[in-house]
Amino acid sequence: MRIKKISLHNYRNYSQLSLDLSHNLNIFLGENAQGKTNIIEAIYYAAIGSSHRTSNDNELICWEKESAKIYLCFERMSVENELEFNFPVGKRREISYNGHKIKPKELIGTINVVLFSPEDLYLIKGAPAARRKFLDTEISQANPSYYSLLSQYNRVIAQRNVLLKKIKENQAKNDLLELWNQQLSELATKIVKQRIYSLKKLNMLANLMHRRISTNKENLEIGYIFNGEENFLPSDLNTWYNNKLAEVQAIDIRRGFTSVGPHRDDIILKVNGINLRSFGSQGQQRTGVLALKLAELEFIKSETGEYPVLLLDDVMSELDVNRRNQLLLFIRERIQTFITATDRSYFPKENVGKYYKVSAGSVME
């Protein structure tokens, strides 16, 4: 998979931008706040259907402009495709795939990307929500039906939470929860099974990457935390969820939200058997995150048949020389990559790709 061309119109600080792209490394150099990350964001948006920086599409539109546009021409399995997004101010966005309008849920899996940003360096020691999002995004790109499953699950959770609050306020009866409990249990079972399946493969790939980066000194292990417990998974998930939801029903009603389900689970990373979040050094945690990202590339390739596009947003300055070299060695001539950086010295003296100078919304090769 590779992106051949990107065009932006009234997007962020770009009134007009059109770039023909290298199939290898595309490196965008410039000072901060010049528009480098806006290009990364546009590609990520085209793949995921949302920005990693804002939940408000109106923020993507140039100041005092009536609309914005993202256009990508890309190849998937050697077939050329076009993807276009239109953002009218105050209106719902429009998405077109090869000239035909599509719904947002049809977008996932069209273009696969892996984003690595400075915030990801806190993935291991951050909140569980970030790790769940990492896992869910990865699985969704490899298996779009999983994304649909998650969407259904989130709707059930939202509706069950509304009912819980009504019951607490004596506006609804407890027995109405049974229907939502059954739906939640069925969907939760499918989600957890898919997560466990994917995590087994990711665990193997991440350990291989981690051993390479640490020169065979450390082993990385990824485990699943189910309902707050490690190394615990019921043999009959559906029955377990139904029983557990009944058990905590009074607590859920009092609190007004659902306390059981995959939206509360987590993953744990260990190096040589030691919890990386609690006891790992900063260097070990960064090596762990880098190994996760490289494993994510291999996982998506194993599931789809092609490497995804890699987006590296200002992470070169956060990695030491060894980790930078390991990263570049892995991706060169293999994976189309978009990199933003402030300093040319982060890269080898010989040209490793196509360089662009970014300044105040202007890009020059």
Rounded Cα–Cα distance for residues 107 and 104 (Å): 5
Binding site annotation covers 182? no
Binding site annotation covers 66? no
Binding site annotation covers 30? yes
Q: Hey, what are 195's tokens?
A: 């997560």
Binding site annotation covers 32? yes
Counting beta carbons within 10 angstroms of the beta carbon of residue 338, is it exposed (0 to 12), middle (13 to 18) or buried (19 or more)? buried
Q: How far apart are the first and last CA of the chain?
A: 23
| DSSP assigned state of 61 | B
Binding site annotation covers 37? yes
Sequence length of the chain is 365
Q: What is the dihedral of CA 3, 114, 297, 188, to 10 degrees?
A: -130
Binding site annotation covers 249? no
**Residue 24, SS3 per DSSP:** coil
Could you tell me if 141 and 108 are in contact, meaning their C-beta atoms sit under 8 angstroms apart? yes
> 194-217 burial by CB neighbour count: b if 16+ within 10 A, else e?
bbeebbeebbebbbebbeebbeee
Q: For 227-285, where are the E strands, in sequence order?
A: 229-230, 266-271, 274-275
Q: Which residues are annotated as a binding site for ATP?
A: 30-37
Binding residues: 30-37
